[in-house]
Amino acid sequence: MSTATGRETLGFQTEVRQLLKLMIHSLYSNKEIFLRELISNASDAADKLRFEALAAPDLVSEDPDLTIRIESDKDQNTITVIDNGIGMSRDELVEHLGTIARSGTAEFLQQMTGDQQQDAQLIGQFGVGFYSAFIVADKVVVETRRAGLTVDEGVRWESDGEGEFTIENIERSARGTAVTLHLKDTESDFAELFRIESLIRKYSDHIAFPVMLAGTAEDEKEPKIVNAATALWTRSRSDIPDDEYKEFYKHLSHDFADPLTWSHNRVEGKREYTSLLYIPANAPFDLWNREAPRGLKLYVQRVFIMDEAEQFLPLYLRFVKGVVDSSDLPLNISRELLQQNPELTAMRGALTRRVLDMLSKMAANTPDDFSKFWVEFGQVLKEGFVEDQANKDKLAKLLRFATTHNGDTEQDQSLDDYVSRAGKDQDKIYYILAENHATAVASPHIESLAERGIEVLLLTDRIDPWLVDGLPPYEGKSFADVAREGLDLPAGEGQMTQDIMDGEHKPLLKKVKKVLKERVEAVHVSKRLVSSPACVVAGESELNPQLRRMLEASGQALPDSKPILEINVGHPLVDRLSAETDDDRFDALANIVLDHALLAEGSQLDNPADYVRRMNSLLLELDSDASSG
């Protein structure tokens, strides 16, 4: 319905409706954060205006002092957050306070369980922003006028947070936005000045604009400034308590949880800039979405220039949040110009090292935090071996693995741990790539290494085949795949060359090869097996089978390649094979030995029906043996 004031009632986007419901329920114990969110938005609005005013100074000149004002009215049971920032046009208002633009939101909301604590965690990572007002208010009214528009182009938005909002044109003399919360009867203490003041101190002291507070009583009418009102990163490290760093992080990241650590630095000299970089405690829901927002907030000489300046850090550090404030970049820098700016390369290099140093410190000083970090972001960090040639050595020190040393699934062993346990004549770091932990630990390939007490890294992340491809030798030890031909074990008892080992069993090997010639490249006597009869390995120049499986699963056509079969000549089943005189049975047995080797490494059989048929006839024989015996 439309009237002279353009009054319209619109429905919230489905995702907003879902979010509102979930949020009111799951954030109830955290409800005071609404004030932080509204002040944070007001501060962003002031930042944006200052940025636009760089090109159009008129936008700000009528009312040049950017402030945030909070007014409470106990009689009306309302609290209003007022800014003279950028404001919103009618279209912007509908878009910003009626939809959620971030892609993947619908899927994300579906993960909510209804369990208050768990959902609060999830929703906290997502950032609820403006809508958190409805935790404490049963009606919210927004009046706003965008900078540059005229007095009669103001807009009013109103909603009870149930599913619809109304919007209409108003006259508004002031630039910027006023958000009025009509508090629920049960939440009236949020209108108390002392309460508001303590919340501002707790949550918003770091805000770079003055936050002022006023009430309705005679002695409260004169607004008083309650925060420090200087950009946090411009202050000296020693003056900033940890709590303020943490609150600033929440403002910056829209995350509810504290960060794991941060690093605040001023660089002086030829190039001048300040950076404040944070490592979050939780991965955002869209960490694996290539289009997800990432990057630092860029300021030039205190003036906000852009959000999500992704050029300052490589993609594999996309989880880092923070600000960088440069004194050298031009104020009119755009994303495109930034890309070409010669300063950028140097800053990016320095900031990357800064992050890696911060992670090394965390690993050394607070290993428990580093473990949490690794669980959330370890797989992303591994991308660095593909992306960042220059820092491989630093990155290698940060890697954590599950290994045969403790055998559990936790990735908590460093390469230094591995090397410190390796025998002095061991010049390799052994690893196995597998689909999952269970397959890796049970793999035939590691049997003889396990028996000799040689540790093996158990690599089961999707990125791992690329990781090992990019890993340079560590402490002089190169990395060796235990599932590849020509495995080089540390010198020890009975090291024989492949030729000598094969020589003793030539007739058997020849016979097996003849039967399996369509399916295997070669047949050898194995030195890696103890309790399994056989395993397959990849030729020296072949793709790793784990990588091959992944590429094939993603639809890539790869040239055919046959594995090499290795047999355990100490195994009774191989004795049995040797002794078999019936050709058909030899054929069936040899094929089954190969099939089992393939299954054990997680491969699929080309012809499972053949396998089942052979196996069934063998089982039947077993049965007749038993009944006749």
Residues near ligand ADP (CB under 6 A): 37, 41-42, 44-45, 83, 85-88, 96-97, 127, 129-131, 177, 254
**Which residue lies nearer to ligand ADP by CB, 42 or 429?**
42
d(CA 198, CA 177): 23
Q: How far is the CB of 85 from ligand ADP (least distance, A)?
A: 5
Which among ligand ADP, Mg ion, none contacts residue 42 (Cβ within 5 to 8 A by kind)?
Answer: ligand ADP
Rule CB under 5 A: is residue 532 a binding residue for Mg ion?
Answer: no
Which among Mg ion, ligand ADP, none contacts residue 26 (Cβ within 5 to 8 A by kind)?
Answer: none
Q: Which region, judged by CB under 5 A, interacts with Mg ion, from 121-129, 333-341, 401-409, 452-460?
A: 121-129
d(CA 520, CA 590): 11
d(CA 23, CA 367): 33
Q: How far is the CB of 129 from Mg ion (least distance, A)?
A: 4
Strands 321-326 and 273-279: antiparallel
Q: Using CA atoms of 473, 478, 480, 485 in order, give the dihedral in degrees to the nearest 10.
A: 130
Three-state DSSP class for 2?
A: coil
**Which residue lies nearer to ligand ADP by CB, 45 or 459?**
45
Q: How far is the CB of 314 from ligand ADP (least distance, A)?
A: 25
Cβ neighbours of residue 244 closer than 8 Å, sequence gap 6 or more: 205, 206, 232
d(CA 559, CA 440): 26
d(CA 362, CA 366): 5
CA dihedral sign, ordered 121, 122, 124, 130? negative
Residue that the structure tokens 């195994």 belong to: 571
Query: Exposed e or buried b for every residue in 280-310, given b needs 16+ CB within 10 A?
Result: bbbbbbbbeeeeeebbbbbbbeeebbbeebe
**Which residue lies nearer to ligand ADP by CB, 91 or 552?**
91
Closest C-alpha among 557, 555, 577 to residue 565: 577
Q: What are the residue ranges of helices labelled H in 297-341?
A: 335-340
Q: How far is the CB of 41 from Mg ion (least distance, A)?
A: 4
Instruction: For residue 435, give both structure tokens.
Output: 């689909």
CA dihedral sign, ordered 536, 432, 380, 119? positive
CA dihedral sign, ordered 41, 45, 46, 48? positive
**Which residue lies nearer to Mg ion by CB, 45 or 356?**
45
**Total of chain residues touching Mg ion, rule CB under 5 A:** 2
Which among Mg ion, ligand ADP, none contacts residue 85 (Cβ within 5 to 8 A by kind)?
Answer: ligand ADP
Which among ligand ADP, Mg ion, none contacts residue 33 (Cβ within 5 to 8 A by kind)?
Answer: none
Q: How far is the CB of 287 from Mg ion (least distance, A)?
A: 20
Q: How far is the CB of 262 from ligand ADP (least distance, A)?
A: 20
**Which residue lies nearer to ligand ADP by CB, 146 or 354?**
146
**Which residue lies nearer to ligand ADP by CB, 127 or 223?**
127
Identify each DSSP E strand in 451-588 by its residue range: 456-459, 478-481, 522-525, 534-537, 564-567
Q: Which residue is nearest to ligand ADP (CB)?
A: 129
Which among ligand ADP, Mg ion, none contacts residue 45 (Cβ within 5 to 8 A by kind)?
Answer: ligand ADP
**Which residue lies nearer to ligand ADP by CB, 306 or 450?**
306
Q: How far is the CB of 131 from ligand ADP (least distance, A)?
A: 6
d(CA 230, CA 209): 7
Q: Please say whether the beta carbons of 544 and 558 come within 8 A.
A: no
Instruction: For residue 207, give both structure tokens.
Output: 């805000």
Residue that the structure tokens 């208010």 belong to: 137
Which among ligand ADP, Mg ion, none contacts residue 399 (Cβ within 5 to 8 A by kind)?
Answer: none
**Which residue lies nearer to Mg ion by CB, 39 or 344?**
39
Q: How far is the CB of 468 from Mg ion (least distance, A)?
A: 42
Q: How far is the CB of 102 from ligand ADP (least distance, A)?
A: 9
Contact track, Mg ion, 34-63, x by CB under 5 A: -------x----------------------
Q: How far is the CB of 43 from ligand ADP (least distance, A)?
A: 9
Contact track, Mg ion, 122-151, x by CB under 5 A: -------x----------------------
Give the residues lining the site for Mg ion (CB under 5 A): 41, 129
